[in-house]
Structure formats: C-alpha cells, structure tokens
C-alpha cells in the first residue's frame, strides 16, 4: 500500500480524514507534525511515496516547498522547468471534471500551456474512469470572438500537442457551454471530437481557472479535490485551507491514483 505523508498532524480534519483513509485502505497515512521541507525529505528518501498538505499551510508555502524539497521535472514544451496543477470536481450525480490550471501558472504562453496540457492529460488518464477529452476554454468558440492573444495561445497549444501526442483528444478554442453541452456543441462545433463531451477543461490563465473551480464548488455543489500539483519529481498535492475532512479524503483518493 502506498504511503502518503500528512505533516499537519494536529489539524482535526486531517485526523478524521487519515483515520478514514486507513480504514478504507486507500493509502497508508503517515501523520506527523513536520515542516513542509521535512515532509518533502521523507518523500525523497523513500519513507513516504507522496505528500499532502495545505489545510493550514498556504498554497504558496506548499508549492515553494515542493519546488525546493522535491524538485521540478524536466519539461517537454516549456523552455524552463514548469509546475502546474489540476482540480477534480465531483458533482452530486457522480460525474467528474478535471480543471486546470487554477493554482500555479499565472499567465502561461503557448509553450507553457502545452506543458500544462501534457501534465494534466497524463494525470487525467489515471484519475478519470473514461478517456480524457480536453477543451481549451475561451470567451470565443472557433474564432467567433474575432482576434485575441489568448485564442492564438490556445490554437498554438493544440497544434503542439497534436504534433507530438496525436493520441490526445484536444480541441478549441471553445466556450464553456460548447465544451460540455452536446446541443450547443452540435451548433457551434459540430465536427469536434471534444465539444459537448469534454471532461478536462483548460483555462487560459490562473484567474479563469481559479474562478471556474470555486464557482463549481460554491454554486454547483461540486466536491473539489486539490489542487493536485504536477511537474514535480514526486507526487504532491495542496489543499484548500477551507477543506473539510471529506475534501481531504477525496484529494488523497485522487492523489493515490497517480502513483
């Protein structure tokens, strides 16, 4: 059984969640009050397989500690090492969507977006029960918005991904309704292999991504896991400081699927 280390051992929600995870045999929780860098060291030396923190620490603390303590993997598309993140939104009817990047990369260019898509696609294939279908979100669908740099970024990203990873299902740019509503997709992008059935939504920047995931959480009744951090040399996930015990359990369940 894989071991996940929880360094915020004194948090009541962490105590409840790790007891549930142990009972369900989702993972073997290691619950010790440690600094983030100490917890990272435990992952690097093999004492643990992954790190989950952030219910008391800020996202900035978790991300920078992961960068310094775990290291960043070499990118494929980006010029410099890049880390990203995803959220998993689970709706009351059981449906799941993966959203990114709403936590780490603020204003990505096309190469950085391609790296984000690559990382999220790899993770989505392990987390989702069905094939990932990736929509590059925009205020525009297939050029309906005229000309804009964010649209150009999306199209370049798609070209880069299709050239190097032709098996990834990706399309755009498209509006949110065209991405997830089959009736609207049939009108706006009838020939798309993604539109109307997207289950991975890529926002153009961190503003849109963060607002999107919190909107689903607050208005649509979705339970959200993450942000699960990507691009590091070892599995790691942040938590929202507003997380409940149920959110911690869901995040650990998703994280455990990545290794």
Q: Which of 234, 255, 231, 237 is nearest to 117 (CA)?
A: 231
- What pLDDT, on the 0 to 100 scale, is given for residue 143? 80
| Contact residues for 175 (Cβ-Cβ < 8 A; gap 6+) | 137, 138, 139, 140, 141, 188
> Is the distance from CB of 100 to CB of 85 less than 8 angstroms?
yes
Q: What is the CATH number of the domain that holds 3?
A: 3.40.50.10950
Domain count, the chain: 2
179, pLDDT greater than 90: yes
**d(C-alpha 187, C-alpha 165), whole Å:** 28
Q: Which of 195, 191, 193, 199 is nearest to 173 (CA)?
A: 195
Segments forming the whole domain that contains residue 34: 1-71+232-259
Residues 103 and 205 in one domain: yes
Q: For the full predicted model, state whether its pTM sits above 0.75.
A: yes
| Contact residues for 209 (Cβ-Cβ < 8 A; gap 6+) | 99, 100, 101, 102, 103, 203
The 10s digit of each residue's pLDDT in 43-92 is: 999 999 999 999 999 999 999 999 999 999 999 998 889 999 999 999 99
Q: What is the CATH number of the domain that holds 165?
A: 3.40.50.10750
117, pLDDT greater than 90: yes
Cα-to-chain-centroid distance, residue 195: 20
The 10s digit of each residue's pLDDT in 231-258 is: 999 999 999 888 899 999 999 999 999 9
Q: Which residue has the higher pLDDT, 5 or 78?
A: 5
26, pLDDT greater than 90: yes
């Amino acid at each position: 059984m894989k071991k996940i280390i929880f360094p915020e051992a004194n948090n009541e929600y962490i105590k409840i969640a790790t007891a549930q995870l142990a009972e369900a045999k989702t993972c073997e929780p290691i619950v010790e009050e440690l600094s983030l860098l100490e917890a990272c060291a435990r992952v690097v030396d093999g004492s643990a397989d992954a790190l989950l923190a952030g219910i008391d620490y800020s996202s900035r603390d978790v991300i920078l500690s992961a960068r310094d303590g775990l290291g960043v993997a070499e990118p494929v598309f980006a010029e410099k090492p890049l880390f990203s993140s995803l959220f998993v939104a689970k709706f009351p009817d059981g449906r799941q969507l993966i959203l990114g990047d709403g936590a780490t990369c603020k204003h990505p260019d096309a190469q950085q977006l391609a790296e984000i898509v690559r990382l999220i696609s790899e993770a989505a294939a392990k987390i989702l029960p069905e094939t990932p279908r990736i929509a590059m979100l925009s205020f525009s669908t297939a050029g309906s918005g005229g000309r804009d740099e964010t649209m150009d970024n999306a199209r370049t990203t798609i070209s880069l991904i299709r050239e190097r990873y032709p098996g990834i299902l990706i399309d755009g740019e498209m509006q949110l309704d065209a991405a997830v509503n089959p009736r609207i997709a049939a009108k706006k992008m009838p020939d798309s292999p993604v539109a109307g059935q997207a289950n991975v939504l890529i926002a153009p920047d961190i503003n849109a991504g963060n607002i999107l995931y919190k909107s689903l959480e607050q208005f649509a009744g979705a339970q959200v896991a993450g942000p699960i951090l990507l691009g590091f040399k070892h599995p790691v996930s942040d938590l929202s400081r507003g997380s409940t015990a149920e959110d911690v359990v869901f995040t650990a369940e998703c994280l455990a699927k990545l290794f």
